[in-house]
Structure 1
């Protein structure tokens, strides 16, 4: 079923429980394996996967006609696993936490299969938008999103106020949303890599 199953999006959007159960059976083990790479306890892993399917069920009416349910499940599962790790990161050394987060983002991109070409184009467009930003805005944005610094740390490093940092990052995000509009994966990209 896992290899040949193609979910009927219309049935799922209309709340067909039998079709949703087929989706669940087709992707449960894959998601369990994926989440299990990052969350040690099997009980926690199972809860995250269950929550992933619940979230998709709650979101079903908002699905678009071209939604890729497999990709959406991996994205929701990844976000829920990251949230779980964040909530429990006092048990995880900081360097391990950062590595786990990076690995999950890379795995999620690789799991997208047929959308990889679009992600290459999206990544190139992202780089072009960064280049077009005023230097102070670009540096501030990259310190936040790529170096993971807090606003206060950036403000201190650049000798500006926290409000200035907030304003620069806000403008950068608005520009990115504007310039990346039209990409199927832009919303996912922005929420995953830029939030």
Structure 2
């Protein structure tokens, strides 16, 4: 049996729904520190955790009219913090993967970090431009697979198509990318992406 959550002093769901800042502040005081701890444990970074929790509370304020009880608010706060933390970790892993691929591609040339980042950004911009010229479904599959790192099954579900359709569209997209960029450039770009 789930124990009911006691409302913080000065808080009520109807007041929050009306936009009462005192009610929001009471809720903030109740959950801010535990959410920061939770998020920092997930991300391993205090500054990132503080930023994520601030964003989560902003989202709560924006969606306040949709909540009917404190338990749903608490659930929203922790779920949103968890998803934002996982998104941060995925994004950070992609950046590290791209940087390592770039360093493998140019091992004998030490490149200052800002220059390497500029080169990486330019390469990603060029890849994005070429992906935009692909047929729509083919471009979506390439974007989901190589840029966002989704699995073939996840892409099939998202696009409401079969796994074999995703595979054929991915092969078609790679062929078109190879023609547009050349084999060596495409190989370097794909090596920098998390989905490969």
Relative contact order, CA 8 A, sep 6+: which one is greater?
A: 2
TM-score by length of 2: 0.45
Question: Which of the two has higher C-alpha Rg?
Answer: 2
TM-score by length of 1: 0.46
